[in-house]
Amino acid sequence: MDATGVAARATDLWKVYGSGEAQVIALRGVNVELERGRFTAVMGPSGSGKSTLMHCLAGLDSVTRGRVCIGDTEVTGLGDAGLTRLRRDKVGFVFQQFNLLPTLTAAENILLPLAIAGRKPDRQWYDTVIDTVGLRDRLGHRPAQLSGGQQQRVACARAMVARPDVIFADEPTGNLDSRSGAEVLAFLRRSVRDYGQTVVMVTHDPNAASQADRVIFLEDGQIVDEMRDPTPEAVLDRLKGLDASAAAPDAAATTNAGGSDRRC
């Protein structure tokens, strides 16, 4: 993590899929800084580039042009081995589909990334994480024996236990009922507030986004707006404006945070 309080940064980030007539420009020069110890939500219409941005930031997808830094590591400069280390040591993931291994218990799932990395868990931190997500009495259960909300809490604990620089969450409440979704959001929020975790979350849900400190709005591969201390109503209003202006993308002013700084 660098001294400027930036956990992750994208600079003039472009992502182009395919070529010729099949070409899709998913990201068009995105500049953004994600502050350390903050909860940032990424919103925008379907197809606006939210998942692509998150995958490029997390080193899960290559970029066409531009730079991505996580802490002081330039992700876009890494080879395969470096990317594997980055994904193992510096980032945590929470996916809509939970992505737990069905044959492992909750505890084994939570500890798996550390086991693969050959790292011993910090026992005290492990206990804190387990108590924070409220899974103490479910640790010996397999995913099929857990509710969706409990499975997602296992996934959150798995992401957090390695103390990553950034947790990336892709629609983490997308498969959950509203109560379980609220629990997962409360946990993510608490990991930021109480433990200084950095969380970046893609969501369609204004209620989920309102849990964040800051919402970034994407449209047609560009950041077109952002909001601090969001409320569900304000987020919903802004989204309506985006959908209405989708036919005229040039009308949207780019208020990209960050800039031309080339340092990580």
Binding site for ligand ADP (CB under 6 A): 17-18, 24, 26, 44, 46-52
Contacts of 24 (CB under 8 A, 6+ apart): 16, 17, 18
Cβ distance to ligand ADP smaller for residue 31 or 73? 31
| Shortest CB 214 distance to ligand ADP, Å | 18
The number of beta carbons lying within 10 Å of the beta carbon of residue 177 is 11
The whole-angstrom separation of Cα 111 and Cα 108 is 5
Structure tokens at 264: 């990580």
| Shortest CB 169 distance to ligand ADP, Å | 13
The whole-angstrom separation of Cα 157 and Cα 94 is 9
| Shortest CB 55 distance to ligand ADP, Å | 8
| Shortest CB 61 distance to ligand ADP, Å | 8
| Shortest CB 24 distance to ligand ADP, Å | 4
Cβ distance to ligand ADP smaller for residue 11 or 52? 52
The whole-angstrom separation of Cα 234 and Cα 41 is 14
- In order, the DSSP letters of 124-185 are HHHHHHHHHHT-GGGTT--GGGS-HHHHHHHHHHHHHHT--SEEEEESTTTTS-HHHHHHHH
